[in-house]
Amino acid sequence: MSKIAVLSLTRQIIESVVEIFMSCPANEPSDPRVRRTRALLQNALRDLLHEKKFGVISVQDIAERATVNRATFYAHFDDKYALLSCVLRSELGAKLWSRFPKPTPLTCESLTLLAAAVFEFIGEMRTQCPDSARDMENTMGSILQEEIYEFIDTWLRIGGLAPPLRGQPRETVATVFSWSIYGAAHRWSRSDRKQTAEDAAREISALLMPARELSAV
């Protein structure tokens, strides 16, 4: 098999992996009944977050809105924080993967796309659910940062590293980039937002990538 054919086959395999990853979120149950119940609970929490602070929402509130009993809730989630994590991570993960339908190396340009998606997601949360966003700020931060980390880590496994990043530990790159992007997005979302999400994302990406580029020279 020629080198070109091997490269073509490799890309097809990678694209298939991405397609599978996007269509099958982590820990997503295969039983349709379980998926329907979990969807009811997730939608119930989404609705309630528009109405009241997360801190005052009880498991009973969520169960009643989802038209299930408390026992059913606990059969699927340990507590309301586990449900919140599921909701936030699935929504952010879907937003991030939608920006990258095909595998691509991590470059300044692609990093900007990723960062802009995070900025938009956190900004939308603060706009649509301001009271809840403020109330669950600390909890939300750790959840979103972990999802960003896992996305970047998976992205690097699939799409590879741009030349300036090659030779750097994947876990280190994912840690530094995820915390930097989340921190910048969090600060931007609390500002007057005179700067667009795209411009703010471009700034943080330019700060993260040049240092790597200089070290590679």
At residue 24, the pLDDT reads 41
- The pLDDT tens digits of the residues spanning 83-136 come to 999 999 999 999 998 888 777 778 888 899 999 999 999 999 888 888 888 888
Measured CA to CA, the distance from residue 41 to residue 64 in angstroms comes to 9
Q: What per-residue confidence (pLDDT) applies to 81? A: 95
Residue 106 DSSP one-character state: B
What's the rounded mean pLDDT across residues 187-202?
91
Residue range 153-157: mean pLDDT, rounded: 86
Kindly provide the b/e burial profile for residues 128-153, where b requires at least 16 CB atoms within 10 angstroms of the residue's own CB: ebeebbebbeeebeebbbebbbbbbb
- In this prediction, residue 4 has a pLDDT band, given cuts at 50, 70 and 90, of low
Q: Write the DSSP assignment of 74-87 as a string of letters.
A: HHH-SSHHHHHHHH
Q: What is the pLDDT of residue 9?
A: 41
Task: Give the pLDDT score at 29.
Answer: 65
Amino acid at 138: N
The residues facing 161 across adjacent strands are 106
Q: Is domain 3-216 given the CATH code 3.90.550.10 in the classification?
A: no
Q: What single letter denotes the amino acid at residue 22?
A: M
Please report the pLDDT score of residue 7 as a whole number.
44
10-62 tens-digit pLDDT: 454 444 444 444 444 445 666 788 999 999 999 999 999 999 999 999 999 99
Mean local confidence (pLDDT), 154-165:
72
Instruction: Say which residues have a Cβ less than 8 Å from residue 30's Cβ, sequence separation at least 6.
Output: none
Cα–Cα distance for residue pair 144/15, rounded to 1 Å: 25
Which pLDDT band holds residue 164 (cuts at 50, 70, 90)?
A: low
- Please give the pLDDT value at position 212: 46
Q: Which two tokens stand for residue 7?
A: 């490269």
Position 193 scores a pLDDT of 82
Segments making up each domain of the chain, as ranges: 3-216
Please report the pLDDT score of residue 217 as a whole number.
Answer: 39
Tokens of 133: 């966003």
